[in-house]
Structure 1
Amino acid sequence: MKRIAVLTSGGDCAGLNAVVRAVTQRAVAGYGWEVFGIRQGTAGLLARPIDAEKLEISRFEGDLLRRGGTFLGTTNSGNPFDYPTQDGGRIDRSEEIIAAYRELELDALIGIGGDGSMAILRRLAQQGGLNLVGIPKTIDNDLGHTEVSVGYDTAVRVATDALDNLQPTAASHSRVMILEVMGRDAGHIALSAGIAGGADVILIPEIGYQIESVARKIAALRVAGRNFALVVVAEAVTTESGEAVTQYQPGGAKNYGGVGHYIAGRIAEATGAETRVTVLGHVQRGGSPTATDRLMGTAFGVHAVDLIEEGKFDHMVAWSEREVTAIPISEAIAGYNAVDPQGSLVKTARGVGICFGDT
């Protein structure tokens, strides 16, 4: 009988519970193994006693499949190789995590995360000789060599719903509505939601823009008889001079945020239009997962357990050409999946008259 553990790491998103459910059902019912859920990501392996629970199939007979977030909890801080101390110092606690893996007598660990989490978990696995399998999870959809990551589809749905809700009030008040969406350094959410939600302008970090171009698009809409416009902007879009728009958090950390207000001000100056800004923020991480995120999460969870059975470690499951595949984790974190300015979706957006501010 094998003993495996699963943890979620990094920012939360919809579909994580579907992954853990699939891992548990495949391992317990399919192979007769024991499965442990690590709470709060790597923080659960740093805790003493180790913060973990044995997972049984009965744990998932309620509504967990339909819930957003992760019932195990997660963390996107506290790098074990550079862990902050109460006195302001930094220490390496990686050996404590490796010791916890040994104490639980694990045969393998499944890590669900994005590129940052994957890089940390792989370093731990390499250092301690741990058997690791990865599952891609990020609303940004920027992990290399996988067409889909868990959480992305739900984030796009939330952003599309926001545009659907903004359109009537934009028309009622003759306004330009600016929707700022997440995506870190990639514009996938903005692009997909913008097309699906009927945006007139999409601004993404992969394509440079000029406000004059955006103003021309809004003016053309007015000439055509339209009294409103919808603009989607990804949080990593810079000012026209190339400066990132960020906000400082307690402790000195910086996050993207505020570019929607910058764009609104520049549009108002250039067009005289009344503008309003909606910043979706973490709303995109929550909500009930879409069918696609549940489906992908389930497929990834089953395949990750099968990789353990095959002894195929140091790999991440991925989705490519309508199939679940496996690629080396090193390749997944080395590759970066940005929006292709010449790609099919950008061409589609241009084909229906959406402006990217570059012409």
Structure 2
Amino acid sequence: MWTLPELPVQRELRRIAIITSGGDAPGMNAAVRAITRTAGSRGIETLGADRGYSGLVHEPLRPLSMSSVGSILQRGGTILKTDRCEAFMDPAVRLQTADALRAQGVDALIVIGGDGSLTGAHHFFADTGLPVLGLPGTIDNDIVGTDDSIGFDTAVNTALEAIDRIRDTAHSHDRLFLVEVMGRSSGFIALSVGIAGGAEAILLPDEAVNAETLLARMAQTRTREKASSLVVVAEGTDPTYTTRLAADLGAQGRPARACILGHIQRGGSPSGHDRVLASVLGASAVDHLQAGYSDIMLGIREGAIARTALERIGHERKKLPEAWLALASTLAS
């Protein structure tokens, strides 16, 4: 259970706007629902912008009500849609957007998204002074200041289900499979899935592992007379890496198949964990705005709500836990 702080009301709110931005993540809808219903229970109106910052800039806001956010808790993706908006990078556009929000009676903005979206939220506040609060919504779990992000648990479980099925085939045919999971330059999904899926090796984004290095790393696995093997690969920045590695392994006499899981990890119904996480953070976002907070992200650290300055998000990189890296190495040996 996550500890929720009791906060005194310091700021009067009439209307809150919400956007979901960047890549979609399972659980975003649960956060939208929690914000809307928590705010509504306190007499605060909630408006939603369609397509992230693009909608905030170019389209009218639409009202969200207690009933309009019903039956969305279990849905993947985001009912508010999402987009990436280059126009919002212009300070003049941010100023115009803030003026338009104030003209509609909007007192604060909540941004649910990844590091780029939350960095944009910081710049919006810095330029305009309109209160802004961020929630970490990304399957990558790569945002500093929080142990967990909305959508991460679902993505791990989706990838793990696929890996369990692939392992059946690997065992049946005595084959090596390279399974690429999402995460951009972050290895959190790969590390979690690799440990939970019993991978013989986990290749992280920072590693430049070639076929010879991987075969050497797996040599101990072969001494245990294990003909089939499964390697989890973090997608990194090179979209051809996994398929090229599979081809190189074949040239080294170790035939391998590449499986790219891709965007199936983003979709689907959110796990119970992500629904609760998003609900807790969404409700707490309203608490913090009423308490006068702004320019922060709410996350979870050591079982409690944690506040992180939005300015940190774009400047610091969340590191993989050393203990987990050591565990993965031990269990694969």
Equivalent position of 1:67 in the other structure: 75
Contact 1:42/1:97 (8 A) holds in 2: no
Question: How far apart, in 1, do the equivalents of 2:93 and 2:19 lie?
Answer: 18
Question: How far apart, in 2, do the equivalents of 1:187 and 1:300 lie?
Answer: 24
Structure 2 residue 273 is the aligned partner of structure 1 residue 292: yes
Question: How far apart, in 1, do the equivalents of 2:293 and 2:21 lie?
Answer: 21
CA deviation after TM superposition for structure 1 residue 234, in Å? 0.7
Q: Spell out the pairing of 1:132-151 with structure 2 (5 A cutoff).
A: 132-151=132-151
Structure 1, residues 304-353: CA drift from partner, whole Å, max 9, x if none?
1001110111111011110112221112332211324xx11111111212
Question: How far apart, in 2, do the equivalents of 1:269 and 1:100 lie?
Answer: 60
Equivalent position of 1:41 in the other structure: 52
Question: How far apart, in 1, do the equivalents of 2:87 and 2:177 lie?
Answer: 39
2:227 maps to a residue whose letter is: N
Equivalent position of 1:239 in the other structure: none
1:322 maps to a residue whose letter is: G
Equivalent position of 1:197 in the other structure: 197
Please identify, of 213-222 and 8-17, the stretch whose mean Cα deviation from structure 2 is larger: 213-222
Structure 2 runs not aligned, ≥5 long: 1-12
Contact 2:20/2:78 (8 A) holds in 1: yes
Equivalent position of 1:14 in the other structure: 26
1:65 maps to a residue whose letter is: L
Contact 1:181/1:234 (8 A) holds in 2: yes
Please identify, of 34-43 and 96-105, the stretch whose mean Cα deviation from structure 2 is larger: 96-105
Structure 1, residues 52-77: CA drift from partner, whole Å, max 9, x if none?
22111112332x11111000101124
How high is the TM-score relative to the length of structure 2?
A: 0.91
Equivalent position of 1:241 in the other structure: none
Picking from 246, 254, 261, the partner of 2:243 is 261
Structure 2 residue 66 is the aligned partner of structure 1 residue 57: yes
Secondary structure (helix, strand or coil) at the match of 1:72 reads coil
Aligned residues: 321
Contact 1:136/1:316 (8 A) holds in 2: yes
CA deviation after TM superposition for structure 1 residue 96, in Å? 3.1
Secondary structure (helix, strand or coil) at the match of 1:93 reads helix
Contact 1:163/1:199 (8 A) holds in 2: no
CA deviation after TM superposition for structure 1 residue 185, in Å? 0.9
1:174 maps to a residue whose letter is: D
Question: How far apart, in 1, do the equivalents of 2:274 and 2:240 lie?
Answer: 29
Equivalent position of 1:2 in the other structure: 14
Question: How far apart, in 2, do the equivalents of 1:25 and 1:351 lie?
Answer: 46
Q: Spell out the pairing of 1:192-341 with structure 2 (5 A cutoff).
A: 192-236=192-236, 245=238, 257-270=239-252, 272-340=253-321
Please identify, of 96-105 and 285-294, the stretch whose mean Cα deviation from structure 2 is larger: 96-105
Secondary structure (helix, strand or coil) at the match of 1:165 reads helix
Question: How far apart, in 1, do the equivalents of 2:332 and 2:257 lie?
Answer: 22
Secondary structure (helix, strand or coil) at the match of 1:112 reads strand
How high is the TM-score relative to the length of structure 1?
A: 0.85
Picking from 311, 318, 328, the partner of 1:349 is 328
Secondary structure (helix, strand or coil) at the match of 2:82 reads coil
Structure 2 residue 43 is the aligned partner of structure 1 residue 32: yes
CA deviation after TM superposition for structure 1 residue 105, in Å? 1.2
Question: How far apart, in 1, do the equivalents of 2:268 and 2:199 lie?
Answer: 23
Say what the alpha-carbon RMSD is for the aligned residues: 1.8
Question: How far apart, in 1, do the equivalents of 2:205 and 2:36 lie?
Answer: 39
- Check 1:39–1:164 CA distance in 2 against 1; reply closer, same or farther (3 A cut): same
CA deviation after TM superposition for structure 1 residue 173, in Å? 1.7
Question: How far apart, in 2, do the equivalents of 1:200 and 1:76 lie?
Answer: 37
Question: How far apart, in 2, do the equivalents of 1:331 and 1:214 lie?
Answer: 36
User: Relative CO higher for 1 or 2, CA cutoff 8 Å, sep ≥ 6?
Assistant: 2
- Check 1:218–1:268 CA distance in 2 against 1; reply closer, same or farther (3 A cut): farther
CA deviation after TM superposition for structure 1 residue 207, in Å? 4.2
Equivalent position of 2:5 in the other structure: none
Secondary structure (helix, strand or coil) at the match of 1:14 reads coil
CA deviation after TM superposition for structure 1 residue 42, in Å? 1.1
Question: How far apart, in 1, do the equivalents of 2:220 and 2:311 lie?
Answer: 48
CA deviation after TM superposition for structure 1 residue 210, in Å? 4.8
CA deviation after TM superposition for structure 1 residue 161, in Å? 1.1
2:251 maps to a residue whose letter is: E
1:155 maps to a residue whose letter is: A
Equivalent position of 1:175 in the other structure: 175
